[in-house]
Structure 1
Amino acid sequence: MRKYILLIILALFASVFNVYADEESIMYTEKAVILEVENSKDVNFENNGQDIQYVKLKIMSGKYKNKVMDTINNLSGNPAYDIKVKENDKVVVVIEEESDGYINAYISEYLRQDYILYLSIMFILFILVVGKQKGIKSVITLTITLFAVLKILLPLILKGFNPILTTICVSIGITGITLFIISGINTKSISAIIGTTGGVLTSGLLAYYVGSKIKLTGLNSEEAIMLSTIGDSINLDFKSLLFAGIIMGALGAVMDVGMSIASSIEEIHKANPSLSKKELFASGMNVGRDIMGTMTNTLILAYTGSSIPLLLLFMYHEPSIVKILNLDIIATEVVRSLSGSIGLIIAIPLTALVSSMLIKNKKE
């Protein structure tokens, strides 16, 4: 069973290298290792020459495996874009076959997949060792979640389906499957699903309403702007994409809260079956209040952590608070974090109420 699960996860994380072609050339994306590097300057370039590297590399995969090739690696001086290599570095190269038989190789990126794969395997092993049977279920649900996002959610959005409705449906499906696999089909899982769904819907609707009122564009990131350049081939609503992202981003934290509340109430009921619905609800709310303080911080800190460069930029230039709060990118992150936190808070009383009612009704 464990070997089967590991194979599934490894298959999901394995890199797929594409071959693509046009009328004049065929291109392959392959792995390579750097054998030799000679640093120099291009004397024909303005501003006293551009740094370049004369590189000898060995192809490690595909049609040209074990072939040694020479290439020139141009450097712009900007560390955000330069791929400065040294001997024994592993890189991704694009091999171009010209129609006349000539072959070129270009360094396109550092090879990062190996260590990402090692970290992924370590993550799965820790889940299996610490969680045991629950860990196996966690790996299964993680696989299902990745499949749902990569093979259902994203393809449907690209085909033109409404991003908000699609994300809501996929989120509910992920929540139900995850909680039923982890805890079985029982009142605890049903309560957590209802609480999670209510919290996520609240978060999404609130973000949609406020975002529409303050005219958020959804084009607050480089990725969204790049995606807008292919708008002729696919029809994308970037505002809906933004709100769909808010729903999906809040799902994990809200699901965690819903399951924690439902599980706590069930354990309290097992310890003292004589407690009334009102007393069980009050106990669930007490647990929820403790969770609320840390989980809201978790959401806000997660969104803040991803925006540290932007915050440092603002602190350096010291613009007015009015200008900062009214920027699209800042307003988007504020709406994202606050609406997600409100959805999380709503999930607490909703889960506590449903759980206390279902447990007592089941007993009766």
Structure 2
Amino acid sequence: MGGHHHGDVLVDPVRRRRANLILWILLAPIGILAFVATLMLWPQGNVAAGILDNPYGTAEGVELSIGTVTRTVNEPCLSSAGLEDVGGTELLCDISYISPDAGGASFPMEVPPETTQSRPLEQGDRIKYLDLSQTASNTGAPYVFVDFVRSTPLALLGILYAVVVCLVARWRGLRALAGLIGGLTFIVTFMVPALLEGKSPMLVGLTTSTVVMFAALYFAHGFSARTSTALLGTLFGLGVTAAIAVWATDAAALTGATDESAMTLSTVVPNLSLSGLLLCGLLIAGMGVLNDVTITQSSAVWELAEIAPHSTARELFASGMRIGRDHIASTVYTIAFAYAGAALPILVLVSLYNRPLIDTLTTGQMAEEVIRILVGSIGLVLAIPVTTAIAVAAVKATGTGGSKPTAELPKPSGRRALQVESSDLH
């Protein structure tokens, strides 16, 4: 089902322009409000950078260096030289020999057991370590393992991702990547500093998600009635998500102070609302899934109209919702599994406690994850019928259809329906 059929659907240029005008009349006030809100909430630079010390910062005489592992062997522990275990044998540890990037002879370094149990150091690994050999007070190990250097694999994976997207989606994939970079840039330059300055997290979250959706959808998919329809459905879903999230966080008494990062924020940025930060995170997490669902649903309605251009609005809506229901079924458990995967360490940890399951699920940290799943899913589910209805109205307003249908809409199965090509958006 390619884009060459679009001329058959949009048969009346005058009505097509009228449909686009109606959609823009609905979208323009929202876009203007988002623009004004951006100007009003734009950070003033009142929060100085570097409030927290560099986690890799070093004291005088201590140097953070990078080296390459040449080999790892099981030898007597450097930190407990001369000590013996209960059986009278010398204590053994994993000792890695490091070749410094700055030059010089290789040296042995004891690696913490919590690291070697998960990922032993291997030949060729690049690591960061603290060089304490020049400190006068050094009485322990002269070199301390800090972390792995991961820049190369991350860069390679990012390049592979970009290449795959561009090869499969071609020019549209490239534009989508550019939109993603632009959205992330806006989040870093606007949303994060605005939150640090104590601006309303709900307003900041709604403004950020609205601006990003306007820019990303139109940049990636072009200015068309399909894109405008998907954008309207996405904004509706965001509004529903925001309203339910406000109620849920208050009713469930979520504080947002459930981990070490949150506690650090409450100390160094006392004017930052942790519960508000949780709300903002719910909106940002939800907009990507909403965008996926609404753009596919909007495109599906157009493609169905091309197959049976004389179908009635009721028939078109019913067929579109058959696709939408399958999309709901698949996306809802996709969201749940995505959050479950992210929270897997928490799930494993709480399973070890000797307490009822309901008590575990209602703890602050687990309740946050559960509410993320439920709030995001409700917004997603409600956005599908709204997007479908808007798409049907837009399709009919462009001059398609009639009271005497000449072709019956197909009733695709779930998997076949989801194969509707969402890339033909113009």
TM over 0.5: yes
What letter corresponds to residue 197 of structure 2 in structure 1? K
Cα gap change, 1:362 to 1:86, in 2 (>3 Å): closer
- Report the equivalent of 1:11: none
- Report the equivalent of 1:12: none
State whether residues 233 and 383 of structure 2, in contact with CA within 8 Å, keep that contact through their aligned partners in structure 1.
Answer: yes
Residues 1:289 and 2:325 are matched in the alignment: yes
State TM-score, norm by structure 1. 0.79
- Report the equivalent of 1:9: none
State whether residues 262 and 274 of structure 2, in contact with CA within 8 Å, keep that contact through their aligned partners in structure 1.
Answer: yes
Picking from 345, 352, 355, the partner of 1:319 is 355
CA distance in 2, matches of 1:59, 1:116: 22
State whether residues 130 and 143 of structure 2, in contact with CA within 8 Å, keep that contact through their aligned partners in structure 1.
Answer: yes
Partner-residue secondary structure (3-state), 1:132: helix
- Deviation track 1:110-164 (CA, whole Å, cap 9, x = no partner) reads 1222112222111111111111222222221222222223333223222332222
- Report the equivalent of 1:269: 305
- Report the equivalent of 1:150: 188
34-43 vs 203-212, which moves further: 34-43
CA distance in 2, matches of 1:260, 1:85: 45
- Report the equivalent of 2:150: 112
What letter corresponds to residue 148 of structure 2 in structure 1? Y
- Report the equivalent of 1:182: 220
State whether residues 339 and 369 of structure 2, in contact with CA within 8 Å, keep that contact through their aligned partners in structure 1.
Answer: yes
- Report the equivalent of 2:44: none
Residues 1:255 and 2:298 are matched in the alignment: no
Partner-residue secondary structure (3-state), 1:363: coil
State whether residues 65 and 128 of structure 2, in contact with CA within 8 Å, keep that contact through their aligned partners in structure 1.
Answer: yes
- Report the equivalent of 1:58: 99
State whether residues 261 and 284 of structure 1, in contact with CA within 8 Å, keep that contact through their aligned partners in structure 2.
Answer: yes
What letter corresponds to residue 25 of structure 1 in structure 2? E
Picking from 157, 168, 184, the partner of 2:206 is 168
- Report the equivalent of 1:25: 60
CA distance in 1, matches of 2:64, 2:205: 32
Higher strand share: 1
- Deviation track 1:170-225 (CA, whole Å, cap 9, x = no partner) reads 11122122211222111111111111111122112212211101211112233323
Picking from 213, 216, 235, the partner of 1:197 is 235
CA distance in 2, matches of 1:239, 1:99: 44
CA distance in 1, matches of 2:251, 2:297: 33
CA distance in 2, matches of 1:218, 1:46: 46
Residues 1:206 and 2:247 are matched in the alignment: no
- Deviation track 1:24-46 (CA, whole Å, cap 9, x = no partner) reads 73876553213466743233799
What letter corresponds to residue 298 of structure 1 in structure 2? T
Cα gap change, 1:68 to 1:278, in 2 (>3 Å): farther
Comparing both chains, which one has the higher relative contact order based on Cα–Cα distances under 8 Å and sequence gaps of 6 or more? 2
Cα gap change, 1:255 to 1:73, in 2 (>3 Å): same
Alignment of 1:340-351 (within 5 A): 340-351=376-387
- Deviation track 1:269-311 (CA, whole Å, cap 9, x = no partner) reads 2333323333333232222111000000111111122233333
Q: Where does the alignment leave 5 or more consecutive residues of structure 1 unmatched?
A: 1-17
Alignment of 1:121-140 (within 5 A): 121-140=159-178
What letter corresponds to residue 58 of structure 1 in structure 2? S
Task: Give me the identity figure in percent.
Answer: 22
CA distance in 2, matches of 1:217, 1:125: 41
- RMSD of Structure 2 on Structure 1 (CA): 3.3
State whether residues 70 and 123 of structure 2, in contact with CA within 8 Å, keep that contact through their aligned partners in structure 1.
Answer: yes
Rg (Cα) greater in structure: 2
CA distance in 2, matches of 1:52, 1:180: 57
Partner-residue secondary structure (3-state), 1:289: helix
CA distance in 1, matches of 2:212, 2:68: 40
CA distance in 2, matches of 1:227, 1:163: 14
CA distance in 2, matches of 1:166, 1:46: 58
- Report the equivalent of 1:10: none
- Report the equivalent of 2:422: none
- Report the equivalent of 1:15: none
Cα gap change, 1:318 to 1:106, in 2 (>3 Å): closer
317-326 vs 177-186, which moves further: 317-326
- Deviation track 1:235-275 (CA, whole Å, cap 9, x = no partner) reads 32110111111111111111111001111111222333323
Cα gap change, 1:227 to 1:71, in 2 (>3 Å): farther
CA distance in 1, matches of 2:349, 2:368: 17
Residues 1:300 and 2:307 are matched in the alignment: no
What letter corresponds to residue 282 of structure 2 in structure 1? I
Q: CA deviation at 1:109?
A: 0.2
